[in-house]
Amino acid sequence: MAKEKEYKNNVMRLLDERGVTYKVHEYPHVENQAVDGESVANQLGQDPMQVYKTLVVRGASREHYVFVLPVCEGLDLKKAARAVCEKSLEMIAVKELLPLTGYIRGGCSPIGMKKKFKTVYSDYIDMLDTVMVSAGRIGYQIELSPDDLVSVTDGEKADILM
């Protein structure tokens, strides 16, 4: 379990409830101003292949999906579509993110979204001992084992990188 910190949010509470071991990392930021993932990795002294971003897309079926991949990599929409058995995928508009997930751009976590979406992780995650994702708020990252992350989100893994 995490050491008690002054700041505790729903992501952290959900991980605590599930007995998941994690570490909170805080980085300097301007309130409600998104910071790109590679800058976050650099500020935290982490390998950008270990720090993951969360992308939300809509399929041709109108279903929504979550893809989680290293911040320095791009999502291959054709590979991603195959992974979720969709004809095609498109990124959602930034204005749709908050009402759909409960998170703002730059603070979107695959953990604890308002609704459960099919979540797919880059299979590169299997090469890591720990992975970092947004803690659900700009300025905070959660570090945990890839197995715990995939498990807590009922995720799958696939080749989704460009």
Q: Which pTM was predicted? A: 0.93
pLDDT in tens, 108-131: 999 999 999 999 999 999 999 999
Torsion of CA 33, 34, 38, 42, to 10 degrees: 30
3 in any annotated domain:
no
pLDDT digit string, tens, across residues 35-79: 789 999 999 999 999 999 999 999 999 999 999 999 999 999 999
127 lies in a domain? yes
Number of domains in the chain: 1
| 4 within some domain | no
Q: Domain residues for 76?
A: 10-158
What's the CATH code of the domain at 57?
3.90.960.10
Is residue 128 a part of any domain in this protein? yes
